[in-house]
């Protein structure tokens, strides 16, 4: 099945399962099947390696049944323990996975036009070749190329546009409308209306925290063949977004940034150093909190991808979540999905370095480059 035909909810859940498998030491699918047969307590159901492989690769149209997920989590926790790792740390608890699964199911069902697909119970006799775990992660925090369409996205986007109109920030960027893909437009309209933004980023420093040279280097990764005037406009638009950090009543920005983004050179060593210094300088503002997620401990968060939550002062305005993937972005609006991503951001903040330690972390990174 072409990847673009699969629900983003299914893709993201598959990515989370694959990340857990990698964190458990990357046992083969055959070893997972064999271990499931040996476990007596707690009881687990059979895990045919073809079924597990299908779900972890994202090849299925629907989400796996909870019983299958629970069994897989139990087995992966065993492998993590065998590898000398803390299962709660690298895999997560069964209860945490149940919350994640319920959120994914609710989001899948909630998307207009979606039909709930519950995978059938596994066929114990189903055969498939043994295969090692292979994972290819397409990370693209700011360079998504496919413009996602469809009635389901259009309906959600229309609701968000109405929200931006009520908040008085709809379409402030329309002078550059040809530069903005449809999936990003609702976020751009709502961003300046937010009272608080909480985000996790793992590929690049986020747009709101980029200095001009770094922003230009990142933009050129995707639009390097564009005319110089267009590149200039894209950079200017990104700088315009940052006004919300310095206005009389600035937005409160709380960003958890994966360490790997600091060492991913864009435009050369000097630009990289200047960007890190820019983060240090911004950290001095009372409305900006930056936490660094060490690469040694942040793998399970990077597997989920970039997540942002917009919170508004208006009582009637619900939080808006914005999730980027290699094909664009989507806005989960099911209550349980929002709960899951709130927990994700909160746990990432707990796991990351404290704000004070993060500033020291940035100074050390600057000395290394």
pLDDT in tens, 105-164: 888 877 655 544 444 433 333 322 222 222 222 222 233 323 334 455 788 899 999 999
The encoded tokens of residue 223 equal 């639009």
Q: For residue 29, give Cα distances in angstroms to 1, 55, 352.
A: 21, 11, 32
Same-domain status, 76 and 158: no
In a domain? residue 220: yes
In a domain? residue 133: no
Beta bridge partners of 323: 307, 330
Distance CA 274, CA 125 (A): 59
Non-local (6+) Cβ contacts of 8 within 8 A are: 323, 325, 327, 330
The encoded tokens of residue 32 equal 């997972």
Domain boundary residue among 110, 134, 168? Answer: 110
CB 91 within 8 Å of CB 77: yes
53 has pLDDT over 50: yes
Same-domain status, 88 and 188: no
Q: What is the domain count for the chain?
A: 2
In a domain? residue 141: no
In a domain? residue 131: no
280 has pLDDT over 80: yes
Domain boundary residue among 110, 143, 172? Answer: 110
Write out pLDDT tens, residues 114-130. 544 444 433 333 322 22
Domain containing residue 70: 3-110
Distance CA 103, CA 96 (A): 11
pLDDT of residue 112: 56
Same-domain status, 164 and 265: yes
In a domain? residue 123: no
Distance CA 292, CA 257 (A): 5
Write out pLDDT tens, residues 178-198. 999 999 999 999 999 999 999
In a domain? residue 145: no
In a domain? residue 136: no
């Amino acid at each position: 099945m072409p990847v673009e035909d699969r629900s983003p909810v299914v893709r993201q859940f598959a990515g989370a399962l694959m990340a857990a498998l990698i964190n458990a030491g990357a046992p083969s699918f055959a070893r997972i099947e064999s271990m499931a047969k040996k476990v007596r307590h707690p009881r687990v159901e059979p895990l045919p390696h073809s079924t597990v492989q299908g779900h972890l690769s994202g090849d299925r149209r629907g989400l796996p049944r909870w019983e299958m997920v629970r069994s897989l989590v139990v087995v992966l926790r065993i492998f993590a323990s065998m590898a000398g790792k803390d299962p709660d740390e690298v895999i997560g608890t069964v209860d945490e996975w149940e919350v994640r699964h319920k959120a994914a199911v609710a989001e899948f069902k909630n998307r207009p036009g979606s039909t709930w697909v519950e995978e059938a119970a596994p066929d114990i006799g189903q055969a498939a070749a043994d295969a090692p775990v292979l994972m290819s992660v397409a990370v693209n925090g700011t360079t998504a190329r496919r413009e996602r369409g469809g009635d389901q996205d259009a309906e959600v986007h229309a609701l968000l546009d109405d929200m931006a109109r009520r908040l008085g920030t709809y379409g402030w960027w329309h002078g550059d409308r040809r530069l903005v893909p449809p999936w990003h437009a609702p976020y751009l309209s709502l961003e300046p209306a937010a009272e608080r933004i909480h985000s996790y980023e793992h590929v690049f420093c986020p747009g709101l925290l980029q200095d001009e040279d770094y922003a230009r280097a990142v933009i050129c990764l995707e639009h390097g063949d564009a005319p110089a005037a267009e590149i200039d406009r894209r950079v200017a638009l990104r700088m315009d977004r940052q006004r919300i950090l310095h206005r009389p009543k600035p937005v409160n920005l709380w960003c958890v940034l994966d360490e790997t983004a600091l060492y991913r050179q864009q435009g050369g060593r000097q630009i990289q150093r200047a960007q890190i210094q820019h983060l240090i300088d911004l950290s001095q503002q009372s409305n900006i909190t930056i936490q660094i997620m060490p690469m040694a401990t942040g793998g399970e968060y990077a597997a989920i991808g970039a997540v942002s939550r917009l919170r508004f002062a208006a009582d009637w305005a619900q939080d808006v979540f914005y999730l980027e993937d290699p094909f664009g972005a989507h806005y989960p609006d099911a209550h349980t999905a929002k709960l899951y991503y709130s927990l994700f951001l909160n746990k990432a903040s707990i796991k990351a370095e404290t704000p004070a330690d993060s500033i020291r972390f940035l100074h050390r990174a600057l000395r290394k480059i």
